[in-house]
Amino acid sequence: MEQFRSFDQLRTNQLIIIRNGFFRPSFELSDGQFSYGKLSYGNIWKTTMILESAQKTWVIKRKAFFSRTLLIKDTYDIELGEVTPEILTRKVKLSMNNGFDAIYAYKKLFTRTFSLTSDQYGDILSVKTAMWGFKKPFEVSVDLDKLKTIPDMPLLVLLGVNLILIKQAQAAAAAGS
């Protein structure tokens, strides 16, 4: 965790996600100079996701084998929140145990931008999928004014990237069958 820079020291609102590796990829949150976090997988089947930042490490797991709900836990296996995709929409609800609620969604029908919005804070961040970016598949825009007021911003960014990767894997599996 000491290899990551604190998210409080972020000076730009444009970040990139860098893909490292091919068969067991990990995704690094960077501004081009410093690394702020990392998304990696705990096993080969990609059922456990590990999100790391300078301050904390989170573990994302499915609630049950056939459940759509993802649980957010810390390293001591204490549940911090959950992520639930809504039925028949492209929205994903985030509910944290500290009272923070938000929605990940595509705002338009044909868009590559996945946004996080909250009733309390408004637009928080957006993750844009690059058209032909293999090494840098995502660009992230963060609202710097909300950086101090919203806790665990690296979790929110890396969780958004993880949700896009899950949707891409589901789409690839559906296209292949």
**Pick from 36, 27, 44, 38: which is nearest to 8 by CA?**
36
**pLDDT value of position 69:** 95
User: Are the C-beta atoms of 62 and 14 separated by less than 8 Å?
Assistant: no
Q: How confident is the model at residue 44 (pLDDT cuts 50, 70, 90)?
A: confident
Indicate the helix (H) or strand (E) that contains 96.
strand 92-96
- Does 1 have pLDDT greater than 70? no
Tell me how far apart the alpha carbons of residues 169 and 29 are, in angstroms, rounded to a whole number: 20
Residue type, 36: Y
Residue type, 135: K
- Does 123 have pLDDT greater than 90? yes
**pLDDT value of position 134:** 81
Predicted confidence (pLDDT) per residue in 53-86, tens digit: 999 999 999 998 888 999 999 999 999 999 999 9
